[in-house]
Amino acid sequence: MTESKSRSQSEAALAETAAEAILDPALLAERIPLEAVPVIDLESFLAGTQEERTQVARRIGEACRNIGFFYIVNHGVPAELRAAVFAEAKRFFDSPLERKLEIDIERSACHRGYFKLGGENLDPAKQKQGGDLKEGIKIGRDLSPDHPLVVAGTPLHGPNQWPSGLPGFQETLQSYFDRLNDLGRQLMQALALALELPEDHFERDLDLPMATVGPLHYPPQQGRISEARIGAGAHTDFGCLTILAQDEAGGLQVRNAAGQWIDAPFIADSFVVNIGDMMARWTNDIFASTQHRVINRSGGERYSIPFFFDPDHDADVSCLPTCCGPDRPARYPPTTGLEHLLEMINATFDYHREKAS
């Protein structure tokens, strides 16, 4: 079957007779002021006095306690680099399916590479048949086969699968990975201050962070849309921090503390940052890991670039000292960064769970 025929059939399967997307009532988001997802200027944290850094960290901590999401602006990542990553993502996803499947994630020993539409299912309780209406590629820390962690067979550690025929793709994504890795470290310093810990508290667990950049493509969704199939089903993220670049198509929704779904729209030159399950566990649920979802009803393609920043594989994820006490005992048993991520990945990627069993 030719790629053009395959793509036409795929588009036909997605489209319905209605010209515009019609959302099931359960998917409607509340239109409330943007301040519901706070916008935090990071400039004075990156280049300010200690007092200014502490003030910004407190704002971040307040957002993490209340909703688990916040925007950051003046974050130091060049707009040109962000634009280049989106352009490379579009180039990759526009490639023929057979070319993308050359780096099928199921061929990887460390969960790297391309996954097709429906390959990830973030809400299997509701999306019982199709999985998420998105495709993606996972790119992590590129470790050579002779690296000690790879030789030891450490899960989720190893070489990336890079696509062929796309000159500049690897260099651009690697540059972005490195820059976001630095930003992730800076945000972990802010979280430490927000938790009344020394700002370098997490550094001991960041020798070789398990970071991943994962460009995503959401095709347009039309007709009547229900929770049975959306771009990304309702979920919480697995790890510590997610730093998301999204495009003008929008579609991200966040569930606030009142249980309302609210929009987290596109803001130029911003990142959306959210807390994941691992950080919620580390903080004894003082920081909120918040449900969110994606519904692409823009009528066009949607692209996003999430960056997942997690600690070393052997990081001790036990309750932090400022997050528990006689009146708030630890709610979770100790675990490691790697054990936690493996549990979460096995719950959402069928191939990985089957391979591990």
Confidence at residue 2, expressed as pLDDT on a 0 to 100 scale: 45
At 64, list the tokens.
Answer: 């993490």
Q: Which residues contact 253 (CB under 8 A, 6 or more apart)?
A: 29, 261, 262, 263, 264, 292, 293, 294, 295
Confidence at residue 176, expressed as pLDDT on a 0 to 100 scale: 98
User: Along the 357 residues of the chain, how does pLDDT read in single tens digits?
Assistant: 444 444 444 444 444 433 466 656 665 555 444 457 999 999 999 999 999 999 999 999 999 999 999 999 999 999 999 999 999 999 999 999 999 999 999 999 999 999 999 999 999 999 988 899 999 999 999 999 999 999 999 999 999 999 999 999 999 999 999 999 999 999 999 999 999 999 999 999 999 999 999 999 999 998 899 999 999 999 999 999 999 999 999 999 999 888 889 999 999 999 999 999 999 999 999 999 999 999 999 999 999 999 999 999 999 999 999 998 888 999 999 999 999 999 988 876 665 545 555
Residues 240 and 310: their CA atoms lie apart, in Å, by 5
Using CA atoms of 343, 345, 350, 354 in order, give the dihedral in degrees to the nearest 10.
-50
How distant, in Å, are the alpha carbons of 181, 192, 202 from that of 324? 29, 15, 17
Q: Where does residue 99 fall: left (phi above 0), alpha (psi -120 to 50 degrees), or beta otherwise? A: alpha
Full 3-state SS string of 124-147: CCCCCCCCCCCEEEEEECECCCCC
| Torsion over CA: 153, 144, 243, 283 (sign) | positive
At 69, list the tokens.
Answer: 């999401």
pTM (predicted TM-score):
0.89
Confidence at residue 300, expressed as pLDDT on a 0 to 100 scale: 96
Residues 121 and 107: their CA atoms lie apart, in Å, by 19
Confidence at residue 39, expressed as pLDDT on a 0 to 100 scale: 95
Confidence at residue 13, expressed as pLDDT on a 0 to 100 scale: 43
* Lateral strand order in the sheet of 232-235: 232-235, 292-294, 252-255, 261-263
Q: Which residues contact 346 (CB under 8 A, 6 or more apart)?
A: 352, 353, 356
Output the CA angle 3-4-8, nearest 5 degrees: 115
Residues 78 and 81: their CA atoms lie apart, in Å, by 5
**Strands, E, within 85-240: which ranges?**
113-115, 135-140, 212-213, 216-218, 224-225, 232-235
Identify the residue whose tokens are 């229900």.
226
CA-based nearest residue to 256, from 49, 65, 88, 24: 65
Query: From the CA atom positions of the chain, what is the Rg in Å?
Result: 20
Q: Are 100 and 92 in contact (CB under 8 A)?
A: yes
| Torsion over CA: 231, 233, 236, 238 (sign) | negative
Q: Which residues contact 113 (CB under 8 A, 6 or more apart)?
A: 103, 104, 105, 106, 107, 137, 138, 160, 161
